[in-house]
């Protein structure tokens, strides 16, 4: 019975994580390729592998041994040309370690990610009631942005904490610019 309760809380936490990150990350890199009039050409599988590598790099920089969510990166169409343009998004979270460690890890990320080729665009408290600690960073080399949020249950209302399964965690939303599939291929083939 205790295991079922933990699994339910974990599932609730993951669902709340995905919902909150999706809301907060809109526009991190967006669907538009206006800043890059000629999207880079990448096979979808190669772009997914790049996202996995970048997520691993971020996890290494977080440097905590907690639990992480399992889903891998996925591809979605870009509005400008849904047959040939796509972006990669990798939503994941880490939880199961003390809040103080997660808070220190966010501070460490602010210093560590630039050493790994990321430019920190913003760092500080978000506009939510809980005033979560949030970082937005970009990798122009790889054409990805990331929104990393430490959702601290100690700062949340009881209702928010209940939706998150009473667990604090670090939520990561990694999203690419729009890429073009190689000539002769369509997004539908993936």
Q: In percent, how much of the chain has pLDDT > 70?
A: 73
How confident is the model over 31-47, as pLDDT tens digits?
443 454 689 999 999 99
Q: Are 146 and 62 in contact (CB under 8 A)?
A: no
Read off the pLDDT of residues 58-114 as tens digits, 9 standing for 90 and up. 999 999 999 999 879 999 999 999 999 999 999 999 999 999 999 999 999 999 999
Q: What is the pLDDT of residue 96?
A: 94
DSSP 96: S
Bridge partners (DSSP) of residue 170 are 94, 150
Determine contact, residues 123/134, Cβ cutoff 8 Å. Answer: yes
Q: Cβ distance 93 to 102 under 8 Å?
A: no
DSSP label at 34?
T
Question: Could you give the residue ranges of the DSSP H alpha helices within the chain?
Answer: 2-25, 44-62, 99-115, 158-163
Q: Which is higher by pLDDT, 25 or 34?
A: 34
Q: Which of 15-29, 70-84, 88-102, 140-154 has the lowest mean pLDDT?
A: 15-29
Instruction: Evaluate if residue 161 carries a pLDDT over 80.
Output: no
Q: In the prediction, which pLDDT does 92 show?
A: 96
Distance CA 44, CA 75 (A): 7
Cα→Cα distances 25→19, 104, 166, Å: 10, 22, 22
DSSP assignment letter at 83: T
**pLDDT for residue 149 is more than 50:** yes
Q: Which residue has the higher pLDDT, 128 or 46?
A: 46
Beta bridge partners of 86: 77, 179
Q: What is the pLDDT of residue 12?
A: 39
Q: Is pLDDT of 55 > 90?
A: yes
Sign of CA dihedral 41, 47, 51, 53: negative
> What residues contact 158, with CB distance under 8 A and at least 6 apart?
none
> Which of 17 and 176 is assigned the larger pLDDT?
176
């Amino acid at each position: 019975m205790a295991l079922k309760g933990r699994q339910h809380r974990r599932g609730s936490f993951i669902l709340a994580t995905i919902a909150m990150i999706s809301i907060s990350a809109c526009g991190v890199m967006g669907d538009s390729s206006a800043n890059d009039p000629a999207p880079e050409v990448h096979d979808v599988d190669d772009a997914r592998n790049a996202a996995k590598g970048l997520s691993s790099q971020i996890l290494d920089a977080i440097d905590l041994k907690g639990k992480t969510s399992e889903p891998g990166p996925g591809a979605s169409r870009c509005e400008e040309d849904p047959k040939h343009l796509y972006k990669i998004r990798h939503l994941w979270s880490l939880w199961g370690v003390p809040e103080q460690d997660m808070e220190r890890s966010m501070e460490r990320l602010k210093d560590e990610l630039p050493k790994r080729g990321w430019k920190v665009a913003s760092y500080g408290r978000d506009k939510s009631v809980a005033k979560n600690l949030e970082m937005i960073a970009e990798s122009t080399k790889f054409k990805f942005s990331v929104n990393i949020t430490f959702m601290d249950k100690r700062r949340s209302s009881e209702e928010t904490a209940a939706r998150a399964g009473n667990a604090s965690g670090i939520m990561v939303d990694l999203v690419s610019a729009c890429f073009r599939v190689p000539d002769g291929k369509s997004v539908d083939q993936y």
